[in-house]
Structure 1
Amino acid sequence: MGRKRKFGRLIDGVLIIDKPAGMTSNDVVQKAKRLYFANKTGHTGALDPLATGVLPLCFGEATKFSQYLLDANKTYLSTFRIGMTTDTADADGKVLKEVDASALTLAQVETAITPYRGDIKQIPPMYSALKKDGQPLYKLAREGIEVERAARAVTIFNYEIKDFRGGEIAEVDVLVECSKGTYIRSLAEDLGRDLGFGAHVATLRRTQAGPFSIEQATTFDALETERGDERAEVLDHHLLPMDTPVAQLAAVELDQNSGFYFSRGQPVIVNQVYRIGDEGDTVRVFQDTGEFLGVGDITDDGRVAPKRLVVS
């Protein structure tokens, strides 16, 4: 049997969506795919259904460079509810325990979060997409199975209290700037455990993902209103160039001859390449007409070897 044919437009680019609450990241991908009638779409780092905010989506050939955004640092605004523990460590979960947190003070919270700034080890929550023997942890958790998880190294660049509201169930609003792979739910769980009251994430909003901020994001409501009964092409102006995920890399330009060989997988000589990088560095590669060809690595003999190519 032949491969199932894919339908949709062959479009390339990056869309920055303000993800609404209640949708999975895959839900967002599928909705964007339908709105744009796109052949191929993918996200660049999952957000929990509870979460809102910046979720870059890659279309077409841009999906080849999504890993660079997966590896990027993130910024979150979150509200931790202290005095209540849930099985998922967020507000979508089942309440397991409540403890009167009326005695909790802002000073105690500040002291408790101090050890979680900088380079830390974090144990991923059971309700996560990480896999154990091929099974996502969240599926095991739903069956009541808990497995040992190895602590992972992450970096918390900034962990700042924005507001504190005391009470039987206290709330603290925090700003967290962190490296890839950081679980905000784990930060909430750890804080609640250290304070002795338990805690979970009540709200979570991603305000920055790599170079993209919430100010650049558009909503599905806005896209649906703009499209109306028009063809999907009317939305294409929202797409950023396909090299956007690697925009932080230095760029080199090739003449027609070199571009031809590079795009066919062969290393090419780039004059004075060491002025823009060192051996092993990855660079963006463009044709002298402005066409993005992909990314390549600088070799020890001053050439640029293809690493990830765009298919025209």
Structure 2
Amino acid sequence: MARRKGRPVDGVLLLHKPAGMTSNHALQRAKRLFFVEKAGHTGALDPLATGVLPLCFGEATKFSQFLLDADKGYRTCIRLGVTTDTCDADGEIIEQKSTAGITLAQVEAALKPLRGDILQVPPMYSALKLNGQPLYKMARQGVEVERAPRPVTIHKMDILAFRAGEAAEVELDILCTKGTYIRSIAVDLGEALGCGAHVKTLHRSQAGLFTESQCVTLEELEARFAAEQEAKGDDAGFAVLDSHLLSADAPVASLPAIELPANSAYYFRLGNPVMVSKVYRFGEQGAIVRVFCAETEQSPRVFLGLGSITGEGGVAPKRILANRSANEV
């Protein structure tokens, strides 16, 4: 008898990642709990970091890139005066200086050039690759290589708190584009102040449209699953887990939505462009839209995938969901 690989579950789980756990460990633990066929995360958090970690299950993984590309929000505490090899609290201290004379005004002045469109040098302890090898592996071997600055945008960086003294700390609220390293902000701030710095704590508060208030912990999920399973059986346990999932189109919820009649939806699912009345009200040629099959008495509204507006007044398939038997149009 063939071993089951998992349930065909499609959706997005907004997980609150705890400190001390890698993003992949959190993903694998959730995948086993939900017993899903396919799963992936949408942008790793450092083991030290906590907060919003969207996990995509099943067909939702086809849209994970939209979350990878989305803006992120962070709250961080930066310890001034202490430099570590990893640029965060998990690393070894390599230099320490007094911060007794540093003022809030000096911190604000040092942060000013770090806002807006900037060029940022990634830290050596990062997953970026050089010649196929992650930089963090080179760093662990004591090798440091030159890293080209990369353009990022810091939309917002507000000071939440400043604690002056020999062990000065600054707390920041940051909204930034993908690829921004908060550890690099700490390094740049420390260099500007002449004392060095590292990230003491890091919390992701937002990923695209998703916020921490929507998140659930692994412990909460495991407890609810166990309680329902014991009371009503496995199916009830999985049902309570699935109730925490957002729909498969959640990563692209900001895109316009087009509804097709059943006959057009059939051909769209086969990979064919279909005509849509007044399609240009949804955007110009090439614009990406969510495509649904319109709800009928026999079938509920079904998400078919993404399409792009054509020059002929139609929509061409761009990313189509598998036609699950439960979702037949």
The answer as to whether partners of 1:154 and 1:181 remain within 8 angstroms in 2 is: yes
Question: By how many angstroms is 1:185 displaced?
Answer: 0.3
Question: By how many angstroms is 1:149 displaced?
Answer: 1.0
What is the match of residue 280 of structure 2?
274
Gaps of 5+ in 2: 296-300, 324-329
Matches of 2:276 and 2:21, distance apart in 1: 46
Task: Return the TM-score normalized by structure 1.
Answer: 0.97
Q: Indicate the percent of aligned positions where both proteins have the same amino acid.
A: 59
| Amino acid in structure 2 at the alignment position of 1:75 | G
Question: By how many angstroms is 1:6 displaced?
Answer: 6.8
What SS does the aligned partner of 1:228 have? helix
What SS does the aligned partner of 1:58 have? strand
Question: By how many angstroms is 1:166 displaced?
Answer: 1.3
**After superposition, where does 1:217-236 map in structure 2 within 5 Å?**
217-228=215-226, 230=229, 231=234, 232-236=238-242
The answer as to whether partners of 1:285 and 1:292 remain within 8 angstroms in 2 is: yes
Matches of 1:126 and 1:305, distance apart in 2: 43
What is the match of residue 238 of structure 1?
244
Matches of 2:21 and 2:58, distance apart in 1: 22
What SS does the aligned partner of 1:101 have? coil
What is the match of residue 18 of structure 1?
16
Question: By how many angstroms is 1:234 displaced?
Answer: 2.5
Matches of 2:108 and 2:203, distance apart in 1: 21
| Amino acid in structure 1 at the alignment position of 2:84 | T
Question: By how many angstroms is 1:248 displaced?
Answer: 0.3
Give me the CA root mean square deviation. 1.2
What is the match of residue 286 of structure 1?
292
| Amino acid in structure 1 at the alignment position of 2:7 | R
What is the match of residue 85 of structure 1?
83
What is the match of residue 47 of structure 2?
49
The answer as to whether partners of 1:162 and 1:173 remain within 8 angstroms in 2 is: yes
Matches of 1:183 and 1:125, distance apart in 2: 8
Equivalent position to 2:33, from 32, 35, 38: 35
Equivalent position to 2:256, from 250, 256, 263: 250
Matches of 1:91 and 1:72, distance apart in 2: 27
**After superposition, where does 1:148-297 map in structure 2 within 5 Å?**
148-228=146-226, 230=229, 231=234, 232-289=238-295, 290-297=301-308
The answer as to whether partners of 1:36 and 1:233 remain within 8 angstroms in 2 is: no
**Structure 1 residue 144 and structure 2 residue 142: aligned?**
yes
| Amino acid in structure 2 at the alignment position of 1:275 | R
What is the match of residue 125 of structure 2?
127
What SS does the aligned partner of 2:243 have? helix
Matches of 1:135 and 1:157, distance apart in 2: 31
| Amino acid in structure 2 at the alignment position of 1:279 | Q
Q: Deviations over 1:72-98 (max 9, x none)?
A: 111100000000000000000111111
What SS does the aligned partner of 2:173 have? strand
Shift of the 136–187 alpha-carbon distance from structure 1 to 2, 3 Å rule, reads same
**After superposition, where does 1:101-116 map in structure 2 within 5 Å?**
101-116=99-114
The answer as to whether partners of 1:156 and 1:176 remain within 8 angstroms in 2 is: yes
Task: Return the TM-score normalized by structure 2.
Answer: 0.92
Show structure 1 runs of 4+ deviating over 2 A: 231-234
Question: By how many angstroms is 1:5 displaced?
Answer: 7.7
What is the match of residue 299 of structure 1?
310
| Amino acid in structure 1 at the alignment position of 2:181 | Y
Matches of 2:192 and 2:4, distance apart in 1: 51
Q: Deviations over 1:210-230 (max 9, x none)?
A: 000110001111111101161
Gaps of 5+ in 1: none
